[in-house]
């Protein structure tokens, strides 16, 4: 089964929950990995998820490691571009790792929707 990582900054958690609920039927077909509090929100929305540490405690780095190891096929990271985040170096590292390993990375819900729709088409045909 393919794996999608889902991460959301605090200012984007509500948007992420709405995205998960709107795409529940597609997302339930995948293994989901998330950082700590994002994972808790995903669980409350009714999906199973493997939770890593929170972003500031190394969760972004843990997900980047999984990308390097070939365990993740897509990353959805709803970033708050207007916020100041103490773990920005980890965030940029994760984004760089996705680019290096050619892993689709969505930083907004419009792109996230396109990615999961594309994955659905690729892996069901």
pLDDT band at 121 (very low <50, low <70, confident <90, very high): confident
Rg (CA), the chain: 13
Does residue 118 lie in a domain region? no
pLDDT of 33 over the 60 cut:
yes
Residue 123, pLDDT score: 60
Residue 48, pLDDT score: 97
Does residue 92 lie in a domain region? yes
pLDDT tens digits, one per residue of 4-29: 999 999 999 999 999 999 999 999 99
Does residue 66 lie in a domain region? yes
CATH of the domain at 70: 3.40.50.1380
Residue 9: domain span: 3-111
Does residue 117 lie in a domain region? no
Residues of the chain above pLDDT 70, percent: 95
pLDDT tens digits, one per residue of 65-94: 999 999 999 999 999 877 776 777 888 999
Does residue 37 lie in a domain region? yes
- Residues noted as catalytic: 60
**Structural domain count, the chain:** 1
Does residue 105 lie in a domain region? yes
pLDDT of 125 over the 60 cut:
no
Alpha-carbon dihedral 81, 83, 98, 23, rounded to 10 degrees: -70
Does residue 124 lie in a domain region? no
Does residue 125 lie in a domain region? no
Residue 55, pLDDT score: 86
Residue 49, pLDDT score: 97
SS3 per-residue string spanning the chain: CCEEEEEECHHHHHHHHHHHHHCHHHHCCCEEEECHHHHHHHHHCCCCCEECCCHHHCHHHHHHHHHHCCCCCEEEEECCCCCCCCCHHHHHHHHHHHHHCCCCEECCHHHHHHHHHHHHHHHHC
């Amino acid at each position: 089964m393919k794996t999608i990582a889902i991460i959301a900054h605090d200012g984007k958690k509500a948007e992420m929950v709405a995205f998960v609920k709107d795409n529940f039927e597609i997302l339930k077909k995948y293994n989901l990995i998330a950082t700590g509090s994002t994972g808790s929100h995903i669980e409350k929305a009714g999906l199973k998820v493997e939770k890593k540490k929170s972003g500031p405690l190394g969760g972004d780095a843990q997900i980047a490691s999984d990308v390097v190891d070939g365990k993740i096929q897509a990353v959805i990271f709803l970033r708050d571009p207007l916020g100041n985040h103490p773990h920005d170096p980890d965030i940029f590292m994760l984004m760089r790792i996705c680019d290096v390993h050619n892993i689709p990375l969505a930083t907004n819900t419009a792109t996230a929707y396109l990615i999961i729709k594309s994955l659905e088409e690729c892996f069901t045909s």
